[in-house]
Amino acid sequence: MATLEIRDLHVSVDAETGPREILKGVDLTVKQGETHAIMGPNGSGKSTLAYSLAGHPKYTVTSGSVLLDGENVLEMSVDERAKAGVFLAMQYPVEVPGVSVSNFLRTAATAVRGEAPKLRLWVKEVKEAMAALQMDPAFAERNVNEGFSGGEKKRHEILQLELLKPKIAILDETDSGLDVDALRIVSEGINRVRSTGEVGTLLVTHYTRILRYIKPDYVHVFAGGRIVESGGAELADKLENEGYEAYVKGGASE
Amino acid sequence: MADVNTPTGSTTAGSIEVGTAGAGAQLAGPGTGRATVQQPIDARVAVKPSFDVNDFPVPTGREEDWRFTPLHRLGGLHDGSAVSAAKGEDKVELSLPDGVTAETVGRDDARLGKAGTPVDRVAAQAFSAFEQALVVTVPKETVLTEPVKIDVHGEGGTRFAHVVIDVKPFAEAVVVINHTGTGTRAANVELLIGDGAKLTFVSVQDWERDAVHAAQQTALVGRDASFKSVVVTFGGDLVRIHPRVNYAAPGGEAELFGLYFADAGQHLEHRLVIDHDTPHCRSNVVYKGALQGQDAHAVWVGDVLIRAAAEGTDTYEHNRNLVLTDGARVDSIPNLEIETGEIVGAGHASATGRFDDEQLFYLQARGIPADEARRLVVRGFFAELVQQIGVAEIQDHLMEKIEAELEAAV
Ligand SMILES: Nc1ncnc2c1ncn2[C@@H]1O[C@H](COP(=O)(O)OP(=O)(O)OP(=O)(O)O)[C@@H](O)[C@H]1O
Ligand SMILES: [Mg+2]
């Protein structure tokens, strides 16, 4: 069973004034089949955690470790992490002009699966996955994320999640920018992947609204660059009622 | 037909210059860039067209039409010294479909100089110094199914060349000039497209790294004729190609496509002029370039002039550049000058984008290795344009060349 183990992770970014520590000792274990919600106020470092796990060059890990089934993730290049089974659905997906969605998806699937998927099966697979997310088939011929609305970008991220079938899915604010219908469609997509029992999910969010569709096994409150409280789904209800004030006031955010 | 030197009306112009954007610099995405006001087209062409080199002063590099060109790398083509340099040889191979004739003629042949007149000193130098010209004729109503191929392999030294492609009325032809090898070369290419004729002219600059090549390619488009120009520049140290379109009668159509890939230290310059002085003609320009490596420099200048008489003109020009690494530089300047409101449409666009770290990260985060990610982006960028060439053999060859460019340096 795949397990992601994050131990005492410290991460800084290059700020104008020199390195600035954003993550200040994150500990978290995510097992296949589990869903962990990470909730925290703006600027608390949620995206920093997500990007650091995926290997974005902007973030420097200064100490701590990240292991996937005992393998050192921090030593892997970005594409190696993806091949090892780490998937990041981005808060702000990037536009890639000149590259069509269909070409991109097939190239990615080929890289992650280690061989080119059989064309006929692949076309069917993509078609079905797009239909399930209520994406117009015309998106396949458009350039990656170019001119996509916020909601379309998020659907496209979840489309990739469904096709690439990672061991660990990190979903960074996949719910933001979605209207109610889109939120339901996207959540259903995530639940389809979860229901296989083969993915460990790290659901990063600011709001509790997506948790109505996706029931987490664990909820972690993230503030000031670390997890400050962990609990079950009931912790989300507490946050819904009380907000993050208690955690921020306590000086945890700085 | 006249060349560009009449009074002007309104001017719209844009300029995009991408300097050496360092790591973390603000990205120049498509559609970004700073706009500057240019001088009107006629003011920038200070000298009257002429066949005689002596009618042009030696450029200093301060002239509008020379300001981007590193003159010291021109092999003396601009200052007369090339004439006394060691003469070079070409190995020329012709592939002529049935019905097509090719002749080598002397300077006094009456068919030379009909499409247009040299507009700068280097083109005039070529016209003043060439010894023999190649005249390729596609007879009236002859529809070719195979391309005419002219393979020019430069074997070093300095060459002045003159080529005339004469496509007679209602004939249809694809003509490909492929340049390989090396040397210093100034040339004029005249393209005569007869009434109702169709010509696709492809000029490939696949030179060795040290070659120098300056050419004016002047087309005269007949009544209801179609001209498609495809300029592809990969090789050379300094390449400066100057396609020009003049219309002999109404109803003509010109499509100008270009594709270039500048590597470290290369200067690849494409400047084109479309002179709409005739009613009801169309033009469409798409040039795309990629750059990689220190001091890779691409210059694109697109001058489109719609004169008062050219009612019913429809024109659009577009230049896009993709900067793959730090240290490369693009100067992209579309100019559109309109002297009549009675037109169908006129527009221009220029965009220079960087293949940036965020795009690279996104693709890598989906398992795609960095070099493949870069290839994916560049292939996609060019494929759209290559597909419009309409000659399968050339399209395949170009995509292979693009792959090779990427293999070589990425
Ligand atoms: N280059 C940088 N220089 C200085 N500070 C930075 C830099 N990049 C990020 N930060 C800071 O790091 C902190 C954490 O940012 P991060 O994006 O991880 O927060 P977040 O929890 O995802 O917030 P949100 O809910 O708004 O998405 C923020 O205070 C941000 O300003
Ligand atoms: Mg965030």
Alpha carbons B244 and B231: distance in angstroms, whole number: 12
Name which of A13, A79, A162 to mutate to probe chain B: the one with the most chain B Cβ atoms within 10 A of its Cβ.
A79
Q: Which residues of B touch A98 (CB under 8 A)?
A: 322, 377-381, 383-384
Q: Are B11 and B44 in contact (CB under 8 A)?
A: no
- Calculated CA dihedral for residues A122, A124, A125, A130, nearest 10 degrees: 120
State what percent of residues in chain B have pLDDT above 70: 88
Cα A26 → chain centroid: 16
Q: What pLDDT does residue B13 have? A: 35
- Whether the pLDDT of residue A253 is over 70: the answer is no
Q: Distance (Å) from the C-alpha of residue B285 to the closest C-alpha of chain A?
A: 19
Helices (H), chain A: 46-54, 78-84, 101-113, 119-132, 150-164, 180-194, 234-242, 245-247
Tell me how far CA of residue B255 lies from CA of A36, A138, B114, B321, B402, in angstroms. Answer: 57, 28, 21, 19, 22
Q: Which residues contact B153 (CB under 8 A, 6 or more apart)?
A: B90, B91, B92, B93, B180, B181
> Is residue B1 included in any domain, yes or no?
no
The strand order across the sheet containing A35-39 reads A86-89, A168-172, A200-205, A35-39, A218-223, A226-231
In a domain, B199, yes or no: yes
Decide: A20 in ligand 1 pocket, CB within 6 A: yes
A95 interfaces chain B, CB cutoff of 8 Å: yes
Mean local confidence (pLDDT), B117-125: 96
For A221-235, the pLDDT digits (tens) are 999 999 999 999 999
Among residues A8, A88, A111, A14, which one has the least CA distance to residue A57? A14
What's the domain count of chain B?
A: 2
Write the pLDDT tens digit of every residue in A37-75: 999 999 999 999 999 999 999 999 999 999 999 999 999
pLDDT on residue B316: 97
Pair B308, B385 in one domain: no
CA of B41 to the centre of ligand 1 (A): 49
Task: Name the domain boundary from B336, B355, B374.
Answer: B355
Instruction: Answer yes or no: do B276 and B162 share one domain.
Output: yes
Distance from CA of A1 to the nearest CA of B (A): 22
State residue B43's pLDDT score. 54
Q: How far apart are CA A83 and CA B179, in angstroms?
A: 44
Residue ID of nearest Cα to ligand 1 atom 17: A47
Summarised one tens digit per residue, pLDDT across range B65-105 is 999 999 999 999 999 999 998 899 899 999 999 999 999 99
What ipTM goes with this model? 0.96
Is residue B291 domain-shared with residue B165, that is, in the same domain? Answer: yes
Q: Between helices A119-132 and A101-113, what is the axis angle to 10°?
A: 110
Contact A107 B353 (CB under 8 A): no
Render pLDDT for B15-28 as a digit per residue (tens, 0 to 9): 333 333 332 222 23
Cα radius of gyration (chain A) = 18
For residue B372, the chain A residues in CB contact (below 8 A) are 107, 111
The environment of the single-atom ion ligand 2, i.e. residues with CB closer than 5 A, is: A 46-47, 91
Beta bridge partners of B90: B154
Q: Does ligand 1 come within 6 angstroms of the Cβ of A77?
A: no
Mean pLDDT, all residues of chain B: 88
DSSP per residue, A168-207: EEEEESTTTT--HHHHHHHHHHHHHHHTTT--EEEEEESS
CB contact under 8 A, A111 and B359: no
Residue B393 counted as domain residue: yes
Q: What is the pLDDT of residue B47?
A: 67
**How far off is chain A from B168, nearest CA to CA, in Å?**
39
Contact (CB<8Å) A97/B381 = yes
Residue B334 sits in the same domain as residue B379: no
Cα–chain center distance at A251: 27
Could you tell me the pLDDT band of residue A87, with boundaries at 50, 70 and 90?
very high
B324 pLDDT above the threshold of 50: yes
Round to whole Å and give the CA distance between A10 and A229.
Answer: 18
The residue whose CA is least distant from atom 5 of ligand 1 is: A15
When pLDDT is cut at 50, 70 and 90, the band that residue B387 belongs to is: confident
User: At which of B355, B383, B401 does a domain end?
Assistant: B355
Give pLDDT tens digits for A144-186: 999 999 999 999 999 999 999 999 999 999 999 899 999 999 9
At B18-59, the pLDDT tens digits run 333 332 222 233 333 333 345 566 555 556 899 999 999 999
Q: Is there a single domain that holds both residue B106 and residue B225?
A: yes
Mutate to test the pocket of ligand 1, among A17, A21, A39, A47 (most ligand atoms within 8 A of CB): A47
Q: 0.80 cut: is pTM over it?
A: no
Residues B338 and B378 in one domain: no
Please give the torsion angle defined by the CA atoms of residues A234, A235, A237 and A239, in that order, rounded to the nearest 10 degrees.
180
Answer yes or no: do B285 and B384 share one domain.
no
Q: Are B222 and B195 in contact (CB under 8 A)?
A: yes
Phi-psi category of residue A25: left, alpha or beta, with phi > 0 → left and psi -120 to 50 → alpha? left
In short, whether A40's Cβ falls inside 6 Å of ligand 1 is yes
List Cα–Cα distances, B65 to A167, B57, B71, B134, B217, in angstroms: 59, 13, 12, 28, 16
Judge if B279 and B363 occupy the same domain.
no
User: What pLDDT was estimated at residue A246?
Assistant: 85
Instruction: Tell me: do B86 and B145 sit in the same domain.
Output: yes
Rounded to the nearest whole angstrom, what is the distance from the C-alpha of residue A22 to the centroid of ligand 1? 7
Shared domain for B271 and B296, answered yes or no, is yes
For ligand 1, say whether the CB of A43 is within 6 Å of any of its atoms.
yes
Does residue A22's CB lie within 6 angstroms of at least one atom of ligand 1?
yes
Let me know if residue B3 belongs to a domain.
Answer: no
Mean pLDDT (chain A) is 94
Its domain, for residue B366, covers 356-410
Question: What is the distance in A from the centroid of ligand 1 to the CA of B145?
Answer: 62
Residue B2 within a domain: no
**Of B208, B120, B215, B142, residue with least CA distance to B177:** B215
| pLDDT at residue number A254 | 43
- The nearest CA of chain B is from the CA of A253 a distance in Å of 27
The pLDDT value recorded for residue B360 is: 93
Q: Is B6 contained in some domain?
A: no
In a domain, B389, yes or no: yes
pLDDT digits (tens, 9 = 90+) for B328-364: 999 999 999 999 989 999 999 999 988 888 999 999 9
Together in a domain, B389 and B373: yes
- Shared domain for B81 and B209, answered yes or no, is yes
Q: Note which residues in 162-191 of chain A have CB less than 8 A from chain B.
A: 164
Last residue of a domain, one of B355, B376, B395: B355
For residue B184, tell me if it sits in a domain.
Answer: yes
Q: What is the pLDDT of residues B191-223, one digit of tens each?
A: 999 999 999 999 999 999 999 999 999 999 999
